[in-house]
A and B are shown apart, each in its own frame.
Chain A
Amino acid sequence: MQRALIFSSSNPIYSQLSTTIAPPDSAVFPKRDGGWIGPFSSNQPPVFRLRNYKRTLLPPLCSASDSVANQPTMASQDEQDPRISKISSAIRVIPNFPKPGIMFQDITTLLLDTKAFRDTIDLFVERYRGKDISVVAGIEARGFIFGPPIALAIGAKFVPMRKPNKLPGEVISEEYSLEYGTDKMEMHVGAVQAGERALVIDDLIATGGTLCAAIRLLERVGVHVVECACVIELPELKGRDRLGDKPLFVLVSST
């Protein structure tokens, strides 16, 4: 099921980046076995579900009929940016790609919807503009689609994080685990300077393996990774946890 995250435009971006938001006492969130859990510990406003969506791998977090009960009550956190629902519905799900059991979140249909694509970029730009971010690092290849427009709008440089042997010249490499085996991510030496503030962008976070590799590459050269930003999160794969203390901002959560 595609769920849109509540994006509160009234919440100052600076505080979202630097402090932990405590949801109101009256806000409750569903957990997998049907009970309720306390407020989030990460810098992320609560989510609520939008529409029906069958997931083949894992049981749903809660049923569609819970949707009314999920809505938080505090005004500053329950305004959903009206752009989010169109973004969510513009994303196409392809079953059994690249292999059986995977419900692939296809953002190419979002790119065909000029307003939804524009809104996607605007939501990120509104969050990161004026926050002294000088680097947007995008992960090959779909991070290359979202990263540069954001970088251009906020006055940052764009740094591609690539598969091995694609970048010419001197690179640094970071290995990361796959389900079977490992892969490597590379970044150009000299692309970023120590002390720069960076965002890492990709279309989707699953397990968080690639994002972690990107974070490590940047931190190895002394860059401060301010936040990771993705269009989509697959929360059951716990990528957010894998990022540890690095904040994650997503527009749409999908179970």
Chain B
Amino acid sequence: MFAGDQNGLQGDPRLKAISEAIRVVPHFPKPGIMFQDITTLLLDHKAFKDTVDIFVDRYRDMGISVVAGVEARGFMFGPSIALAIGAKFVPLRKPRKLPGEVISEAYVLEYGTDCLEMHVGAVQPGERALVIDDLVATGGTLSAAIRLLERVGAQVVECACVVGLREVKGQHGLNGKPLYILVEPRQQINGSAPSVNGIGVVNGIETCRHDDLILGGNFSSPVNTTPKSD
């Protein structure tokens, strides 16, 4: 669901400012991809703070004890949310980054697979968890994150992303878990976002998590991937 659909956040000017603070870099990491660059959001203190505040307001009273952030851009948002809601922060990392004992979850790319890891013992059975990343494309990485947490008996309450399309396409579908997104990807390089309030679907846009499947907009495109990096 989109933040702008929610009671109280419809027409919230913070969402417009957040959307406009995100830079679109065309043809990165490869031709045809309109990369949604959140680093410019991090340069705008007010917009960055508002981003965190909107998530915190939503999750503060949900009894969440774990915020799991996906490497590496999930690390930029997750800890601030965790600190504000009194939850622990658990990094979900690429293979061989975490020292000590880990569990791994593989997920499918166009060619081959990649892996997400979590520390054994970081999360206890019965804990309520939030998964956070900067952007959701097809949901492959988020689905792997959900599986990791569920394997150790945690309950994933929701996945939260700053940017994402209204419909998560692709075969993953987040295992039925709810997805909360602040803004849609922008097609324009400059100027205002066409669908901050969530009306309509951005046509012809391809957005990329940079390591996951490319998500098509209103057209069907072959599933395509870039080498795993973030």
Residues of chain A at the chain B interface (Cβ within 8 Å): 92, 94, 97-98, 104, 106, 108, 111-114, 117-118, 121, 140-142, 144-146, 148-149, 151-152, 155-160, 162, 165-169, 188, 191
Contact = CB atoms under 8 A, between A and B. Distances in A.
Given A106-B100, A144-B72, A152-B49, A158 B42 contact: yes
Interface of B: 23, 25, 28-29, 35, 37, 39, 42-45, 48-49, 52, 71-73, 75-77, 79-80, 82-83, 86-91, 93, 96-100, 119, 122, 229-230
Nearest to B97: A141
B141 to A, nearest CB: 15
A168 B28 contact: yes
Contacts of B80: 148-149, 152
A186 B75 CA distance: 18
A156 B45 contact: yes
13 contacts: A104-B99, A111-B91, A112-B88, A114-B88, A144-B75, A145-B79, A145-B91, A148-B77, A149-B83, A152-B45, A166-B230, A168-B37, A169-B23
Given A108-B119, A111-B91, A144-B73, 10 more contacts: A98-B99, A113-B88, A114-B83, A141-B97, A145-B89, A149-B79, A155-B45, A157-B42, A160-B72, A169-B28
Contacts of A149: 79-80, 83
A92 B122 CA distance: 12
A168 B25 contact: yes
Contacts of A97: 99-100
A216 B71 CA distance: 26
